Amino acid sequence: MPSSDGPILDAVGLQRSFGSLRVLRGLDVRVGAGEALVIVGPNGAGKTTLLRLLAGLARPSAGEVRVLGKRVEPSAPDARRPIGFVSHQSMLYDDLTVRENVVLAARLYGAPDPGDAARRALEAVGLAGHGEERPPRLSRGLLQRASIARALVHEPHLLLLDEPFTGLDAPAAERLRALLGERLSTGLALVLVTHHLDEAWELASRVAVLAAGRWALDEPRAGDLVQFLHRYHALANA
């Protein structure tokens, strides 16, 4: 990971509307190297929309997203290169094997040796033995791991995760936490959206609550989870 003086992710004044519905109402998001921002919020708070804006998959109605200083927008493909994204959907092709899917991602991101990059990514998520299987044959948990391998294959500087623990059994969830912790220690910046804060609590450097398109809370992780959950429920129900 190259060192960077500024934040890896710097989003300012993000707004997003769908017709008259204002989903995001002016959010700032800054995440530095080695930092993990964990976002929680009730359904419809705008968490997934926020991740799609940060990934460059949707344009903000106002505001801008910068990753490593480059503005993320459709006409700037290089600005998307440092981003990895795990969404609700696997983004995998059913007619390609898991390995082929990950190799494809490595090729799209210009990895010098796509085959080797895919092998390392699959090993990192514990899928080395499932590379020749096709996604429809995988369980929900294995599919999620393949999706994570796809997102990690180009060794992104910023990793955006939408409910990454969904479908993972306890050992797989622990393995993912260890993997993310290891990448954080080497300078990865992480934004993780979850409904299950207990699974991501130990990873978090900061915890933020998104409610009705605004930050209701954004602070360094402190204290224990139970205390935070009391405050979160009060904020989410406010």
Question: What residues line the site for other proteins (CB under 8 A)?
Answer: 52, 55-59, 74-75, 77-81, 83, 85, 87-96, 100, 104-105, 107-110, 135, 150
**Smaller CB separation from other proteins, 7 or 84:** 84
**Whole-number minimum distance, CB 132 to other proteins, in Å?**
13
**Smaller CB separation from other proteins, 60 or 177:** 60
**Whole-number minimum distance, CB 78 to other proteins, in Å?**
6
**Whole-number minimum distance, CB 200 to other proteins, in Å?**
22
CB 90 within 8 A of CB 61: no
**Whole-number minimum distance, CB 223 to other proteins, in Å?**
36
CB 14 within 8 A of CB 27: yes
CA 168 to chain centre: 16
Rounded to 5°, the CA angle 75-46-217 comes to: 115
Which among 16, 151, 41, 51 has a CA at the least distance from the CA of 91?
151
3-class DSSP assignment, residue 168:
coil
Rounded distance between C-alpha atoms, residue 215 and residue 206, angstroms: 13
